């Protein structure tokens, strides 16, 4: 295995679990996020555990200049990116639309939509110039096709990821770049703590009475999609806890 995978949002949750899983599979990985201390700790862990080749890049995906500069300055052994996992994202707030805060709306739109676009453009252009295909994995959500009360802007950003995944699949077809959208339901990560602005008790309440997915569960779906032969593209994977049918129906004990 000599493939290079870049994972955005690898400091926590699904991205961190994906970095572990891909390093375990022998991929060379570029891990990114804003928290440099976590990136350094993960690099040390994966180097020690798997002898993995890991490169860290600390930047904010909302900042176009930072994204482009980070991706320009890659060491030679990490320069040919085969796989991009567009994972960085968040929900911020859970309010009725008339009570929404600009700060929350901007954080979600700028990260989940515009950040994903900046990274995708920069990396897909590198893949195209190289001419050896590639694979882009986008973290969508069950909220990418359903809207729940108070989910308004978060759901809209994941609807955008759903549409953009389809658009990428069409536009990048001629370059043999595969595009997979991973669409989980409830995954217990730092997601709800971030959504509730650090309120851990409220976040824990989200998962009470059911067994949610873990970041590792989602990472395994990503590994499976990436491991298909080159003539197969997995367009979408929707995965939920057994206790969740969709955004509306949950069986809470």
Applying CB under 6 A, the residues found at the interface with ligand 8X3 are: 141-143, 151, 158, 186, 247
Residue tagged active-site, from 118, 148, 154, 248: 154
Please, what is the angle between helix 215-226 and helix 13-24, to 10°? Answer: 50
- Of these partners, ligand NDP, ligand 8X3, none, which one is at the site of residue 34 (CB under 5 to 8 Å by kind)? ligand NDP
Half-sphere exposure of 126 (CA within 13 A, CB side): 21
Q: Which is nearer to ligand NDP, 76 or 102 (CB)?
A: 102
Q: Which is nearer to ligand NDP, 53 or 112 (CB)?
A: 112
- In angstroms, the CA 186 to CA 190 distance is 12
Q: Which is nearer to ligand 8X3, 40 or 239 (CB)?
A: 239
Half-sphere exposure of 56 (CA within 13 A, CB side): 19
Q: Which is nearer to ligand NDP, 27 or 191 (CB)?
A: 191
- Of these partners, ligand 8X3, ligand NDP, none, which one is at the site of residue 241 (CB under 5 to 8 Å by kind)? none
Closest C-alpha among 185, 108, 109 to residue 144: 185
Q: Which is nearer to ligand 8X3, 58 or 238 (CB)?
A: 238
By the 8 A CB rule, do 45 and 23 touch? Answer: no
b or e along 216-250 (b: 16 or more beta carbons within 10 Å of the residue's beta carbon)? ebbbebbeebbeeeeeeebebbbbbbebbeebeee
Residue owning tokens 């990821």: 161
- Of these partners, ligand NDP, ligand 8X3, none, which one is at the site of residue 247 (CB under 5 to 8 Å by kind)? ligand 8X3
Q: Which residues bind ligand NDP (CB under 6 A)?
A: 8-15, 33-35, 60-62, 87-90, 111, 115, 139, 141, 184, 186-187, 189-191, 194, 215
Q: Which residues contact 206 (CB under 8 A, 6 or more apart)?
A: 186, 192
| Minimum CB–partner distance for residue 93 and ligand NDP (Å) | 14
Q: Is 154 a catalytic residue?
A: yes
Q: Which residues contact 72 (CB under 8 A, 6 or more apart)?
A: none
| Minimum CB–partner distance for residue 170 and ligand NDP (Å) | 22
- Of these partners, ligand NDP, ligand 8X3, none, which one is at the site of residue 12 (CB under 5 to 8 Å by kind)? ligand NDP
Instruction: Give the active site residues.
Output: 154
């Amino acid at each position: 295995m000599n493939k290079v995978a870049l994972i955005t949002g690898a400091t926590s949750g699904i991205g961190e679990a994906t970095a572990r899983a891909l390093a375990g599979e022998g991929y060379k990985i570029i891990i990114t996020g804003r928290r440099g201390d976590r990136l350094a700790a993960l690099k040390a862990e994966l180097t020690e555990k798997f002898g993995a080749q890991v490169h860290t890049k600390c930047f904010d995906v909302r900042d176009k200049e930072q994204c482009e500069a980070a991706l320009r300055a890659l060491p030679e052994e990490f320069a040919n990116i085969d796989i991009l996992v567009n994972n960085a994202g968040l929900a911020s707030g859970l309010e009725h639309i008339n009570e929404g805060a600009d700060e929350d709306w901007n954080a979600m739109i700028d990260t989940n939509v515009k950040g994903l676009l900046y990274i995708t453009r920069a990396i897909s252009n590198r893949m195209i110039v190289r001419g050896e295909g590639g694979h882009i994995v986008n973290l969508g959500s069950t909220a990418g096709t359903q809207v729940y009360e108070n989910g308004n802007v978060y759901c809209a950003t994941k609807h955008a990821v759903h549409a953009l995944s389809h658009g990428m699949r069409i536009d990048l077809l001629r370059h043999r770049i595969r595009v997979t959208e991973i669409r989980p339901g409830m995954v217990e990560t730092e997601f709800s703590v971030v959504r509730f602005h650090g309120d851990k008790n409220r976040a824990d309440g989200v998962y009470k009475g059911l067994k949610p997915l873990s970041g590792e569960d989602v990472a395994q779906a990503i590994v499976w999609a990436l491991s298909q032969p080159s003539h197969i593209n997995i367009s979408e994977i929707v995965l939920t806890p057994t206790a969740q049918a969709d955004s509306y129906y949950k069986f809470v004990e």
